[in-house]
Amino acid sequence: MKKFSALFLSLLLLIGLLVGCGQTNNAEQKENNSNASEQSKLFPVTVKDALGEDVTIKEKPKRIVSLIPSNTEIAYALGLGEQIVGVSDNDNYPEDVQNKEKVGGMEFNVEKIISLKPDLVLAHASSAHNSQEGLKQLKDAGINVFVVEDAQSFDKVYDSIQTIGKITGTSDKAEDIVAEMKTKLADIQEKGKTIPDDQKVSVFVEVNPAPQIYTTGKGTFMDEMLTIIGAKNAAGDQEGWPQMTEEAVVKLNPDVIVTTYGYYVDKAVDQVLARKGWENVSAVKNKRVYDVHSDLVSRPGPRLVEGVEELAKAIYPDVYKK
């Protein structure tokens, strides 16, 4: 009798486990079906890209190739790391990109991309005109190619994030990222407003070293960054990304010089401080030359706000390091 009771109890326990597992599986199945249903509502979607072409995405992309680091960073921020199967040779963030297939730099490898069987390639307007033939080959192979705008302001960066979110079925996440960026930027801007006009410093941003010095002018998000933190762009009367002579920079006599190439030029700050004929430039005389990593201030993606913070702390440490 005792053996029968033990057997009966074991049987009841087994049935309970089977029922529980069945309920769990049913719940998971319902959740998966719900997610699939939600995704189906988002696709197909048609969006005009930076070249003015209507691109139709029939379903959520499962395999993505990114041809430029900024697009890659946006995609990862949107939670699409697992879907990314290929990136450019220039990609270095986040660390997981080291595990992805490399498809070339400005001149990408069409055959390699096709072999990865992507259903979406994220291209970029900054290089699209120089790679029209390659992009056409990808399209002819039946791959969706979307050219993202070359954003030169924070508003355009927000647009890029939202656009990539829309074509990848991650619009909600995109909105969250943009909202967080706007909040952080607003906080920084409020501090910048506390700096009196007579205490605002002029800043020369050197994005390429001598002898071919390039800087940032009007119509760029780097110029916008300086305005946000309460600084003046020493080259603010220039447009875009102009090249300047050493003599022209000396004449500007900036209070601060910021280099953005210290990650590939050894002792970038020391080189600026040691330039002949620059001894009387205020930034050099007062040793107010700083280096900020280019990726943070030049890639139009989610980390741009970090770049603003780095600039702010370097230029106005008493205001932004509090």
Distance of alpha carbon 147 from alpha carbon 48, whole angstroms: 9
Residue 302 within a domain: yes
Whether residue 28 is contained in a domain is answered as no
* pLDDT number for residue 52: 95
pLDDT confidence of residue 128: 87
Q: Between 29 and 201, where is the model more confident?
A: 201
Residue 4 counted as domain residue? no
Q: 201-215, pLDDT tens digit by residue?
A: 999 999 999 999 999
* CATH code assigned at 92: 3.40.50.1980
Residue at which a domain ends, from 148, 176, 204? 176
DSSP helix/strand/coil, 103: coil
pTM (predicted TM-score)? 0.86
Q: What is the pLDDT of residues 229-239, one digit of tens each?
A: 999 999 999 99
- Token pair in block for residue 131: 């790679």
3-state secondary structure (DSSP) of residue 141: coil
- Taking alpha carbons only, the member of 202, 289, 303 closest to residue 254 is 202
Give the domain range for residue 256: 195-315
> pLDDT per residue over 299-316, tens digit each?
999 999 999 999 999 999
Q: Tell me, what amino acid is at 72?
A: T
134-142 own/partner pairs: CB under 8 Å, 24+ apart: 134/107, 134/108, 134/110, 137/110, 138/110, 138/113, 138/114, 141/114
Q: Tokens in use for 68? A: 């430029």
Let me know whether 123 and 208 are in one domain: no
